[in-house]
């Protein structure tokens, strides 16, 4: 296993991208890497990455908290500022979760699954989550921030979780390098963003192949509301197509779980 200190040089040697990660901020601690990139009035270069060893106010989807022990996991965000990437925000989300899933599969042969909209699971436990946010001027998006939390070397997760967490360390017996995981995720993310321009369908298809809930009976929870039906499909806009009785509707947010769980 690598030294506990993140080795930027080792990471850089394995980074094989054209724009993601050419500009990197490595912070010892910050409230949240997403908040950092969302709140600053700077012209961040497209693909700027902010990595933090400690987040004091890590945030998750739906106003939840993201908890991560200092220095053992990966918590980072990427700023996207090139407009041609903004035509399909949902696909950016899918590209991000697919990049994490495939990185963990390639490096550690983990049996990864994707859970709508963008969780990465291993044997039903959550190993990674993505938080995507955007800044707009009028109706135009000017910056997207994609935040990644990946549990790498943390073995215990005290506290209450909606889905039980796990980590690479808990699922893989062998050497684990945070540097290698980060470079692989960034390499794949950039590659998948490239598909957005000419092969959106293939990206969506690859995402769907790893989402085992499609076709299953599920429960969708949002706030105090629970709905029961069938997870029919995911469309190109990232909506979950949900059938209740004879009616199919589009779901934009919420927590989906297999019925009975
Ligand atoms: C979720 O599953 O709810 C999304 C979790 C996203 C966590 C990451 S950690 C890096 C980035 N900064 C944050 O505050 N959140 C994201």
Q: Is the CB of 66 under 6 A from ligand 1?
A: yes
Question: Which of 259, 254, 207 is closest to 234 using CA atoms?
Answer: 207
Pocket test for ligand 1, best of 148, 154, 181, 182 (most atoms within 8 A of CB): 148
What per-residue confidence (pLDDT) applies to 199? 86
Give the whole-angstrom CA distance, residue 22 versus residue 4: 23
Backbone angles phi, psi at 66, to 5 degrees: -110, 115
What per-residue confidence (pLDDT) applies to 2? 46
pLDDT, tens only, 94-141: 999 999 999 999 999 999 999 999 899 999 999 999 999 999 999 899
What per-residue confidence (pLDDT) applies to 1? 44
- Topology of domain 8-209 in CATH is BirA Bifunctional Protein; domain 2 (3.30.930)
pLDDT band at 32 (very low <50, low <70, confident <90, very high): very high
Question: Which of 102, 111, 84 is closest to 186 using CA atoms?
Answer: 102
Q: Is the CB of 44 under 6 A from ligand 1?
A: no
H or E stretch covering 247? strand 247-251
Residue 18 has pLDDT above 90, yes or no: yes
To which residue do tokens 């073995």 refer?
155
Distance 150 CA to ligand 1 centre (A): 9
Q: Architecture of domain 217-258 in CATH?
A: Roll (2.30)
Where does the chain hold its CATH 3.30.930.10 domain(s)? 8-209
pLDDT, tens only, 178-227: 999 999 999 999 999 999 888 889 999 999 999 999 999 999 998 889 99
Where does the chain hold its CATH 2.30.30.100 domain(s)? 217-258
Longest dimension (CA), the chain: 57
Which atom of ligand 1 is nearest the CA belonging to 68? 9
Pocket test for ligand 1, best of 27, 32, 54, 66 (most atoms within 8 A of CB): 66
């Amino acid at each position: 296993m690598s030294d506990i200190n993140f080795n930027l040089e080792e990471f850089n040697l394995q980074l094989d991208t054209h724009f993601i990660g050419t500009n990197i901020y490595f912070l010892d601690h910050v409230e949240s890497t997403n908040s950092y990139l969302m709140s600053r009035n700077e012209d961040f270069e497209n693909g700027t990455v902010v990595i933090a060893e400690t987040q004091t106010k890590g945030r998750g989807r739906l106003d939840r908290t993201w908890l991560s022990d200092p220095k053992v996991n990966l918590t980072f965000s990427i700023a996207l500022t090139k407009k041609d990437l903004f035509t399909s925000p949902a696909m950016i989300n899918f590209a991000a979760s697919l990049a994490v899933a495939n990185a963990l599969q390639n490096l550690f042969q983990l049996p990864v699954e994707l859970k709508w909209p963008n969780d990465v699971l291993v044997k039903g436990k959550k190993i990674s989550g993505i938080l995507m946010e955007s800044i707009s001027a009028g109706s135009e998006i000017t910056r997207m921030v994609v935040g990644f939390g990946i549990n790498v070397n943390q073995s215990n997760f005290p506290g209450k979780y909606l889905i039980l967490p796990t980590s690479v360390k808990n699922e893989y017996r062998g050497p684990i390098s945070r540097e290698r995981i980060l470079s692989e995720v960034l390499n794949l993310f950039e590659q998948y963003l490239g598909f957005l321009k000419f092969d959106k369908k293939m990206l969506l298809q690859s995402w769907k192949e790893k989402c085992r809930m499609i076709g299953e009976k599920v429960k969708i929870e949002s706030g105090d509301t629970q709905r029961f039906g069938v997870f029919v499909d995911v469309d190109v806009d990232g909506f979950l197509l949900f059938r209740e009785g004879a009616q199919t509707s589009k779901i934009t947010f919420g927590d989906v779980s297999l019925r009975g769980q």
